[in-house]
Structure 1
Amino acid sequence: MQNQLRNPQNPLKKQVQEQLHKKQIDEVKLVGDFATIANLAMYISYLGEIIANLNGQPTSPIQPLFAALNATLWVGYGWLMPKKDWRLIIASFPGVIFGVMAAVTAMM
């Protein structure tokens, strides 16, 4: 039996390896989904700063400006990948919009 498991031609070993690989891919996708949601929540939280800025309580524009720059770079990276990384693009795009809006409203 051990000899059969060591044999790379063993269909049982190949099946086990495929199942382990599928499980690993499923785990990575799950982490990617949660990371996407967390990233979206982080950027949407700029709404509070934007509202404060518009209500005459300006915040610093530096952090949201650099967040927008960072998000722009990640969107570009995801877009330029040979196979577009839609999770990364979708998660980062709101950072471009909300980061710029927070920075601009802080400077008004």
Structure 2
Amino acid sequence: MLLKQSIMNEKLMQILGWIATVTAMAMYFSYIPQISGNLKGDKGDWLQPLVAGINCSLWVVYGLIKKPKKDWPIVVANSPGVFFGFFTFATAM
């Protein structure tokens, strides 16, 4: 019974991790409307995307150097934030 519960908890944690990964990626893809507005001349906020880009960069590095094995959900979840954060920042300037 304890083994079955442990397997169920592990599966639940895996599902929760991938749901969190997808929602994190969606959060960074939501910069697309701001990027579009920035490129049209309606400049938006630059500070939050800059901080997001820096934060995501740190998380990607953490996920890649984590021992004993890389933490791919963290890397995958934060990689769009590196691109979209810095790109949104650059277009807002």
1:89 is matched with 75
- 1:80 Cα offset (Å): 1.1
Rg larger for: 1
SS at match of 1:58: coil
Normalized against structure 2, the TM-score is what?
Answer: 0.96
Alpha-carbon distance in 1 for matches of 2:66, 2:42: 40
Alpha-carbon distance in 1 for matches of 2:4, 2:62: 31
- 1:18 Cα offset (Å): 1.5
Which ranges of 4 or more aligned residues in structure 1 deviate by more than 4 Å? none
Q: Which has the higher contact order (CA 8 A, sep 6+)?
A: 2
Normalized against structure 1, the TM-score is what?
Answer: 0.83
* Structure 2 residue 23 is matched with structure 1 residue 38: yes
* Structure 2 residue 42 is matched with structure 1 residue 54: no
- Give the gaps of 5 or more residues in structure 2: none
| Deviation per residue, 1:2-51 (Å, 9 max, x gap) | xxxxxxxxxxxxxx221111111000011101101100100000111100
- Give the gaps of 5 or more residues in structure 1: 1-15
Q: How many residues align?
A: 92
Sequence identity (%): 38
Alpha-carbon distance in 2 for matches of 1:23, 1:90: 24
- 1:104 Cα offset (Å): 0.2
